[in-house]
Amino acid sequence: MGANTLAYIVLLAMAFSVASASDPSPLQDFCVAVNDTNDTVFVNGKFCRDPKLATPNDFFFSGLRLPGNTSNKLGSMVTPANVAQIPGLNTLGISLARVDYAPYGLNPPHIHPRATEILTVLEGTLYVGFVTSNPENRLISKVLYKGDVFVFPQGLIHFQLNVGTTNAVAIASLGSQNPGVITIANAVFGSKPAISADVLTKAFQVDKNVVEYLQSQFWTDNHTY
């Protein structure tokens, strides 16, 4: 192999390594750096058990067998199967969730900050959609039937509404061991402590009384933990 060819290969490899370098993706909302190692220390994700001590139960979860309780204001319930329920998912970058919907039940607008989602309808008829980022804020939506699949890109606001007169069930596959969820209404109007009504009045261009009314409501969390 000629010297020029070898040098070209080395430079190409170096350029590729620089171009593809990045920080590791976060596996929780944040991870505050510490200088004092005597402080409590967390890793990005979870600590790993000695592989020799792993058991079948580390990779098992029976929680998706039964339907979730949809007797709430939203008429839906999300049952996750992520690293909190299945320790063996740690570092594997995937998780699942079962979503149950009462007739006309809603899984309200929310985002997953750390994962793209693929939703598969097992039973029922769902109206689903997501909204693209600024400035277009374009709604991309579709009615799904049993066996249909729909993708919600990472970080975009999305929702599902049961438009049928019977219960519906879907399975969500997510590209993170801990995808996280931020329900828009809960975060904006139900934060603790509350966001200043002055901020929300200007942001939503509504009367301050409307904001204060919304902040006084009990915002349903349709997730089991």
Q: What does each of the 225 residues of the chain score in pLDDT, given as a tens digit? A: 565 665 555 555 555 544 455 556 777 777 766 666 666 666 777 888 888 888 999 999 999 999 999 999 999 999 999 999 999 998 889 999 999 999 999 999 999 999 999 999 999 999 999 999 999 999 999 999 999 999 999 999 999 999 999 999 999 999 999 999 999 999 999 999 999 999 999 999 999 999 999 999 988 899 986
pTM value is: 0.84
Question: Which residue ranges are tagged as binding site for oxalate?
Answer: 107, 112, 117
Distances (CA, A) of 209 to 194, 205, 217: 15, 12, 13
Annotated binding site: 107, 110, 112, 117, 158
Show the tokens assigned to 220: 């349903």
Q: Which residues are annotated as a binding site for Mn(2+)?
A: 110, 112, 117, 158
For 43, the enclosing helix (H) or strand (E) is: none
Whole-angstrom Cα Rg for the chain: 22
The answer to whether 161 and 141 are in contact (CB under 8 A) is no
In DSSP terms, 80 is beta-bridged to 97
C-beta neighbour count of 189 within 10 angstroms: 19
Q: Which amino acid is present at 77?
A: M
161 half-sphere exposure, CB direction, 13 A CA radius: 10
